[in-house]
């Protein structure tokens, strides 16, 4: 029976194409027959879609033979040369840019320090120069540009592609997508850094195959990326995941957001350093004194982690204290979202071997039993690349879920 209208037909083809691409992303290599069975589509429909995708260069046939008994067949995978994506992170004090192919193999990267006191225009110019460099390299390699993803440390209005508020940069209402689309004629995606990082872990990191998990981005601030049923949970306006501002102690320390006792005042590297300084100022012996050459103000989070690895009790205790508070917040998240995995990312993930066991214990002691029976705790697989890989995932996610290129097909 003929499909009613061209619009319907186009929608169904896009929908089915997205299913095929997603199956190949997750389970490739697959044969045509396996794809048809997994997608619940008939072989002829799948063949038409596959031929189109091969023609467009997004998937390829491999010379691997099917391992199954019976007639061997060509297997299909995503084509690394299907195009390139540029991932950008505008951090509080750095800019990071990464260039990847269609299956997120890193082709080029650069990270430069920036000064949050610098003019906003200067920082954005520097980021767009690096982006241009990445695009030039991708084009030189004969690949087509697919898009640019940008992760930023603040609240993002997704509809307008606008950075609404970045407290640590003190930026408000920056129309990033508009500004960058004047320079780059490509799809541009703006996202909060923790959300982007969560997507990166889901696509290419430790959360592959986990459809319900929470990514904690614990650095200067504490952000969260929440994946529910395989999709980023953004809330009604895109501001979901501001977990660092959950009130843990109403009489606590003043937070950067202007409120008291937010979770992030208890758990960031700043809280670790404060804890350490309070102990050392009393003259307690510690390796941290040697590592920081005796300068209390010069102690870095890395000094504390290094000392903890050498079993220094001041360092280990400071991390345990932060781990306990991290655990208390995580208990709240588990009770609300019932995730299967918690991923610890950001600067604190450097100390994951000390923090994760404490978080796990706190959760076991304080959470309702059923939601945490099968929960896992892991450190980010991408470390400091979590956000840029997530920014790349934004570009690929858009193509895989919404294959707009089909608009060009007759």
**Binding residues for Zn ion (CB under 5 A):** 245, 255, 257, 259, 262
> Kind of pairing, strands 171-174 and 162-166?
antiparallel
CB of 249: closest distance to Zn ion in angstroms? 11
- 35-39's contacts with Cβ under 8 Å and 24+ in sequence apart are 35/76
Q: Which is nearer to Zn ion, 147 or 153 (CB)?
A: 153
Closest CA to 378 of 363, 360, 396: 360
Query: Considering the complex, what minimum distance in angstroms separates the CB of residue 383 from Zn ion?
Result: 25
C-beta closer to Zn ion: residue 13 or 266: 266
Whole-angstrom distance, CA of residue 295 vs CA of residue 359: 30
Q: How many Å apart are CA 14 and CA 20, to the nearest integer? A: 10
76, 58 Cβ separation under 8 angstroms: no
**What dihedral angle (degrees, nearest 10) is formed by the CA atoms of 7, 11, 13, 14?**
130
Residue 325 CB, shortest distance to Zn ion, in Å, is 14
**Between 245 and 352, CB nearer to Zn ion:** 245
Q: Which is nearer to Zn ion, 122 or 259 (CB)?
A: 259
Residue closer to Zn ion, measured from CB, 14 or 245 = 245
Smallest separation, CB 336 to Zn ion (Å):
18
Measure Cα distances from 360 to 207, 228, 231 in Å: 17, 21, 25
251 or 373: CB nearest Zn ion: 251
Query: Smallest distance, Å, CB 342 to Zn ion?
Result: 21
Closer to Zn ion by Cβ: residue 172 or 300: 172
Q: Give whichever of 51 and 247 is closer to Zn ion, judged by the CB atom.
A: 247
Q: CB of 384: closest distance to Zn ion in angstroms?
A: 24
Among residues 221 and 339, whose Cβ is nearest to Zn ion?
A: 221
Task: For the CB of residue 221, give the shortest distance to Zn ion in the complex, in Å.
Answer: 8
Residue 111: beta bridge partners? 96
Q: Smallest distance, Å, CB 270 to Zn ion? A: 13
CB-nearer residue toward Zn ion: 58 or 325: 325
Q: Contact 352/379 with Cβ under 8 angstroms? A: yes
Closest distance between Zn ion and the C-beta of residue 164, in Å? 16
Minimum Å distance from CB 223 to Zn ion? 11
């Amino acid at each position: 029976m003929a499909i009613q209208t061209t619009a319907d037909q186009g929608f169904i083809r896009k929908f089915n194409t997205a299913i095929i691409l997603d199956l190949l992303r997750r389970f490739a290599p697959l044969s045509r027959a396996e794809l048809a069975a997994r997608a619940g589509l008939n072989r002829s429909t799948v063949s038409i879609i596959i031929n189109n995708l091969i023609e467009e260069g997004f998937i390829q046939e491999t010379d691997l033979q099917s391992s199954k008994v019976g007639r061997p067949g060509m297997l299909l995978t995503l084509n690394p040369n299907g195009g390139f994506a540029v991932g950008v992170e505008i951090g509080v004090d750095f800019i990071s840019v990464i260039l990847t192919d269609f299956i997120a193999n890193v082709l080029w990267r650069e990270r430069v320090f920036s000064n949050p006191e610098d003019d906003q225009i200067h920082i954005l110019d520097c980021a767009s120069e690096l982006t241009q460099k990445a695009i030039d390299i991708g084009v030189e390699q004969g690949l087509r540009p697919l898009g640019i993803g940008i992760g930023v440390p603040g609240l993002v209005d997704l509809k307008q592609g606008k950075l609404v508020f970045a407290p640590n940069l003190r930026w408000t209402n920056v129309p990033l997508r508009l500004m960058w689309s004047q320079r780059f004629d490509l799809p541009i995606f703006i996202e909060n850094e923790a959300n982007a990082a969560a997507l990166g872990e889901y696509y290419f990191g430790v959360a592959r195959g986990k459809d319900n998990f929470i990514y904690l981005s614990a650095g200067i601030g504490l952000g969260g990326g929440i994946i529910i049923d395989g999709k980023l949970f953004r809330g009604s306006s895109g501001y979901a995941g501001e977990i660092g501002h959950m009130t843990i102690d109403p009489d606590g320390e003043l937070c950067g957001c202007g409120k008291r006792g937010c979770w992030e005042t208890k758990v960031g590297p700043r809280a670790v350093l404060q804890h350490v300084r309070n102990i050392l100022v009393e003259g307690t012996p510690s390796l941290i004194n040697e590592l920081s050459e005796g300068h209390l103000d010069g102690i870095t989070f890395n000094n504390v982690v290094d000392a903890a690895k050498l079993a220094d009790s001041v360092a280990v205790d400071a991390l345990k204290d932060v781990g306990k508070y991290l655990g208390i917040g995580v208990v709240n998240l588990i009770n609300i979202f019932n995730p299967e995995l918690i991923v610890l990312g950001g600067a604190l993930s450097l100390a994951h071997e000390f923090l994760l066991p404490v978080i796990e214990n706190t959760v076991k002691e304080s959470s309702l039993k059923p939601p945490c029976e099968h929960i896992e705790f892991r450190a980010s697989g991408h470390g400091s690349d979590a956000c840029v890989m997530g920014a790349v995932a934004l570009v690929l996610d858009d193509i895989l879920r919404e294959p707009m290129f089909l608009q060009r097909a007759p």
